[in-house]
Structure 1
């Protein structure tokens, strides 16, 4: 039986060609793209197809359409790249739990890598991060910003640029949860757990760092409004990691 040939939309082709021009520097970040009339003629497509291509690139964080001003090239960041995923999390406790489960699989290994690569020069940054958390807790503030900074520091210590980008996207997706389900009402517990993670990393003890991060992230869920019920756990396949 002959295979089905998928018809490629004109807007997909235009989006791909524009993306190549952006990446090869023809249209650098901050540049306003030529008017729709000019681009439509260049690519031989209608303005409708061109606007569809713009929408695709906007979702990728590659362009910004400014009403009445034009379309500008931009550098994608975690905030823009997370937009397509936010709808999956909105109003879905299970989707939020799945996101936290992914974090539980990833960040303990990042902590272990950080422990293998940590040097004496990293100690002041960890001490500063913990002191900032203590000061915020003493003022009765939530540790949202301080918590993000600590986990960013762990990722930076791991020294892998790909990990930094993935965790930046993950933190952006978690940002809404921090003000709803992940309320941060137990600052003393958070600081103590962060302290254990920092100690293990600075002691170059990957196994202890992995365990400390795993325990910390598990506690985050267990003390949050997203804590899974017994029914939630029983509905998962046998052997699946649960939070």
Structure 2
């Protein structure tokens, strides 16, 4: 039985001299996740998503009750691994690092707002480290869109009434890294913006702050379009200094 096969492998975890692949698989410690890994190629593809067998069949293969299987599926869905569709079945989603990170980040920020500032520090280091690789992969169309985003933001700031260009702010930074091709980095960066909104930093702060912020975004866009990626990175780091000052002020820290 498939469950016996898995349990035998899990029991080997205390043994040495195992291959890295076996250690990685054993570390999952989830029957449904391990099933998806092992049987991935055999799972039927429907409309671009792979459909798992019916629950009764899965229970039979895994040797567990429907209640236990449902618990595992709910946990897998929370991690973005599967999608349960009532009356239709359960589908395996494409790999998505963003969903579990977003959930855990928002939970941590709800527990302690200081966790946002800690995550912000991670985000700044991450963005600076991957800036060169990301911006060099941008297409001409991407670069032109960055300029259009800056123009839209400036129009909103200069309008009557003034509008906060938060969507443009998020779009600008995510587009900058969109071609990086690293789902882990992109997931961490996307989750940052959800936390940014959760703590209310997308709300009005000070007009001079937004003027300075979008001046730096304009300079970044110009540097990217000109192929001056080092210069763009310098502006990015200066931009983060501006944000850090704002965060220190809003958190009441020095």
The interval holding the TM-score normalised by the smaller chain is: 0.7 to 0.9
Contact 2:223 2:232 (8 Å CA) reproduced: yes
Give distance in 1, aligned partners of 2:170 and 2:149: 10
Over the residues paired in the alignment, what is the CA RMSD in angstroms? 3.3
SS in 1 for 2:30: helix
1:229 aligns with 2:225: no
Q: 2:145 aligns with which of 105, 119, 125?
A: 125
Contact 1:32 1:72 (8 Å CA) reproduced: yes
Normalising by structure 1, we get a TM-score of: 0.74
* Cα 1:227–1:12 shift into 2, 3 Å: same
Q: What are the ranges of 5 or more consecutive residues in structure 2 without an aligned counterpart? A: 1-11, 16-25
> What is the aligned partner in structure 2 of residue 205 from structure 1?
228
SS in 1 for 2:227: coil
> What is the aligned partner in structure 2 of residue 15 from structure 1?
33
Q: What are the ranges of 5 or more consecutive residues in structure 1 without an aligned counterpart? A: 231-243
Give distance in 2, aligned partners of 1:228 and 1:208: 32
Contact 2:43 2:52 (8 Å CA) reproduced: no
Q: 2:213 aligns with which of 175, 179, 190?
A: 190
Aligned residues: 223
Q: 1:167 aligns with which of 186, 194, 202?
A: 186
How far 1:46 moved relative to its partner?
2.1
Q: 1:83 aligns with which of 103, 106, 109?
A: 103
How far 1:26 moved relative to its partner?
1.4
1:147-198 Cα shifts (integer Å, max 9, x gaps): 1111122213xx4210x65234422343242353423533212210101212
Q: 1:51 aligns with which of 47, 66, 70?
A: 70
* Cα 1:118–1:209 shift into 2, 3 Å: same
> What is the aligned partner in structure 1 of residue 57 from structure 2?
38
Give distance in 2, aligned partners of 1:41 and 1:119: 50
SS in 2 for 1:161: coil
* Cα 1:168–1:43 shift into 2, 3 Å: closer
Contact 1:10 1:49 (8 Å CA) reproduced: no
Contact 1:15 1:56 (8 Å CA) reproduced: no
